[in-house]
Amino acid sequence: MNNSEGQPKKILIVGGGTAGWMVASLLASKWQGSEISLVESKDIGIIGVGEGSTPHLKLFFDAIKVTDAQWMPRCNATYKNGITFDNWSAIAGFESYFHPFAAQTDDAFTLPLFFRNIRARMQGHEVDAHPDKYFLETYLTRNHLGPIPAESFPFGIAYGYHFDSALLGQFLAEHAQNQGVNRIVANVAEVEVHPNGDLSAVMLSDGRRLKADFFIDCSGFNSLLMQQSLKVSFKSFKDNLFNDSAVVMPSAISSVLPVETRSTALSSGWAWKIPLRNRFGNGYVYSSDYIDADQAETELRQHLGLLEGDVQARHLKMKVGRVEKHWHKNCLAVGLSQGFIEPLEATAIALSFNTIAQFMQYFQEGKFTNQYEQAFNQNINGRFDGIRDYIVCHYKVNQRTDSAYWLDNAANANISDTLRAILTLWHKSPDFAGDMLKYKLMGSYQPKSWACLLAGYGIFPRLAMPQSFDCSMHQQELEALHDFIRRCGLNFKPHNELLTQ
């Protein structure tokens, strides 16, 4: 039954991982008219990985009115300016590059020169177009400076976080319950589907029956409601993205806390290194078609300099892809139950936030009917596919020749039309950023991110166009830019100091 304005009276969330408690917190803060319950299983537990975010986590906390100072210390959280990619490219001088988040502010000053110099380099001029030379966030990161500027500084920097995912879940669970969410600890044994196709109730293994008007599936890879009960089909990304497994282990933290995730390419995948206040979280994401779990664990230990017995490893399987519909009938899937793209750009929490925030908007605009279900599903599918394309690109353009894994990735013809079009623009267009806009290729990632990736790999195809570039000012311009960035940097505090404030 729905209340007077059509808003569902009873909402049941199944699953108490990060996704479930994010949804509960957001619903509780915006839809006070609904009675919200969350059921989670002690026996099944949560996935317990996922320790890096994009700036969307800040948007989420802003939406539920929680400040950094309230949640970060509780979750051993640190700030994140972006990701350094090591050893993805085999081109000399491009062994490493930094991918900053999109920042609308200082980019206005730095981005035009970056694009101009990329083009000049493609015209055959000897100019430095490595992305690390162009962005304030990169300077901050290399100098261990946090992303929060002095109040008088006119630009904002987009930043993400690193955090302990189990502690984040606990923090959000407490927050949501304080907002009135009812927590039920039990196993869902059965799901009742009404003859009209809607969900009507879930049966718990202790015999209780929980009815609701609207259901939210946050049951992780199980996808108990959306895939198992409503039979919504799953579109695998296995043809595009080979990685299906991960092994994770912690290591000792350094005294100076990095402000970045490091992502290092290994023989059959890549390893993350995420700084928390009390430890590094590490993991090797790999394809089990090329390496087995024992080999992956050994390679990760070698990479980290950790011996067997130093620390225990956890092995995980990943189901990579997405559901065809994220909203179907009276059910919404959020988190791993709706899909997962491997964690190279740490986008899962961003997708969960986008899903619930967009859903609330579409559902409300449609007066709590399914009027905008199709438009919503298209929107979320577009976000998933856009992120997939950006991640696929990291593999597609690699030039490593040291293993079958990297050779097969480079040779993989299973890329989307959109990614093919973006790569064609990079190779042919004199105005990459403008043409991305013109040809409506602006998806989940901005031209800045694509340019950081492609220039960061050292991919500068020779463009057939007039040699219009005046090289004589190049060094002075770069020096002026570096001076500007250095002066901006004076407004930022060391990361360690920021965290102890």
Ligand X SMILES: Cc1cc2nc3c(=O)[nH]c(=O)nc-3n(C[C@H](O)[C@H](O)[C@H](O)COP(=O)(O)OP(=O)(O)OC[C@H]3O[C@@H](n4cnc5c(N)ncnc54)[C@H](O)[C@@H]3O)c2cc1C
C-alpha distances (whole Å) from 456 to each of 83, 99, 134, 167, 261 are 12, 9, 12, 35, 16
Alpha helices in 83-164 (DSSP H): 107-122, 136-142
Closer of 15 and 100 to ligand X (Cβ): 15
For residues 121 to 160, the per-residue mask of contacts with ligand X, x marking binding by CB under 6 A and - elsewhere, is: ----------------------------------------
110 binds ligand X, rule: CB under 6 A: no
CB of residue 102 to ligand X, shortest distance in Å: 17
17 binds ligand X, rule: CB under 6 A: yes
26-60 as b/e, with b when 16 or more CB fall inside 10 Å?
A: bbbeebeebbbbbbbbeeeebbebbbbbbbbbbeb
State which of residues 25, 34, 53, 141 lies at the interface with ligand X (CB under 6 A): 53
Residue 497 burial (CB < 10 Å; 0-12/13-18/19+)? exposed
78 binds ligand X, rule: CB under 6 A: no
- From the list 91, 77, 84, 98, the residue with the least C-alpha distance to 271 is 84
Give the up-direction half-sphere exposure of residue 152: CA atoms within 13 A in the CB hemisphere: 4
Residue with tokens 């017995």: 309
The reply to whether 369 sits in an annotated binding site is no
55 binds ligand X, rule: CB under 6 A: no
CB of residue 254 to ligand X, shortest distance in Å: 19
- Check: CB of residue 55 under 8 Å from CB of residue 82: no
State which of residues 8, 50, 321, 386 lies at the interface with ligand X (CB under 6 A): 50
Please identify, among the stretches 34-42, 173-181, 300-308, 417-425, the one whose residues bind ligand X according to the rule CB under 6 A. Answer: 34-42
Closer of 80 and 396 to ligand X (Cβ): 80
DSSP codes, 188-243: EEEEEE-TTS-EEEEEETTS-EEE-SEEEE--GGG-IIIIIIS---EEE-TTT---
The reply to whether 349 sits in an annotated binding site is yes
227 binds ligand X, rule: CB under 6 A: no
- From the list 403, 348, 399, 446, the residue with the least C-alpha distance to 100 is 446
- From the list 342, 319, 346, the residue with the least C-alpha distance to 262 is 346
Active site members: 80
The reply to whether 235 sits in an annotated binding site is no
- Check: CB of residue 342 under 8 Å from CB of residue 391: yes
Closer of 190 and 402 to ligand X (Cβ): 190
State which of residues 13, 19, 36, 380 lies at the interface with ligand X (CB under 6 A): 19
Q: In whole angstroms, give the CA distance from residue 49 to residue 343.
A: 10
The contacts of residue 75 (CB under 8 Å, 6+ apart) are 163, 164, 167, 168, 171
46 binds ligand X, rule: CB under 6 A: yes
Residue with tokens 């605009």: 365
Q: In whole angstroms, give the CA distance from residue 354 to residue 352.
A: 6
The reply to whether 422 sits in an annotated binding site is no
Cβ neighbour number for residue 434 with a 10 Å cutoff: 13
Residue 234 bridge partners (DSSP): 323
C-alpha distances (whole Å) from 222 to each of 231, 235, 320, 333 are 12, 15, 13, 11
348 binds ligand X, rule: CB under 6 A: yes
CB of residue 352 to ligand X, shortest distance in Å: 6
State which of residues 2, 10, 44, 494 lies at the interface with ligand X (CB under 6 A): 44
Tell me the pairing of strands 331-333 and 214-217: parallel
For residues 254 to 283, the per-residue mask of contacts with ligand X, x marking binding by CB under 6 A and - elsewhere, is: -----------------------------x
Please identify, among the stretches 87-95, 148-156, 213-221, 357-365, the one whose residues bind ligand X according to the rule CB under 6 A. Answer: 213-221
State which of residues 11, 26, 27, 39 lies at the interface with ligand X (CB under 6 A): 39
- Check: CB of residue 359 under 8 Å from CB of residue 327: yes
Closer of 38 and 136 to ligand X (Cβ): 38
State which of residues 8, 55, 269, 335 lies at the interface with ligand X (CB under 6 A): 335
Number of residues lying near ligand X (CB under 6 A)? 38
Closer of 40 and 213 to ligand X (Cβ): 40
Closer of 244 and 435 to ligand X (Cβ): 244
Please identify, among the stretches 26-34, 292-300, 332-340, 439-447, the one whose residues bind ligand X according to the rule CB under 6 A. Answer: 332-340
Closer of 49 and 306 to ligand X (Cβ): 49
Annotated binding-site members for 7-chloro-L-tryptophan: 80
Q: In the complex, which residues of this chain contact ligand X (CB under 6 A)? A: 14-20, 39-41, 44-47, 49-53, 165, 187-188, 218-220, 222, 224, 246, 283, 316, 318, 335-337, 343, 346, 348-349
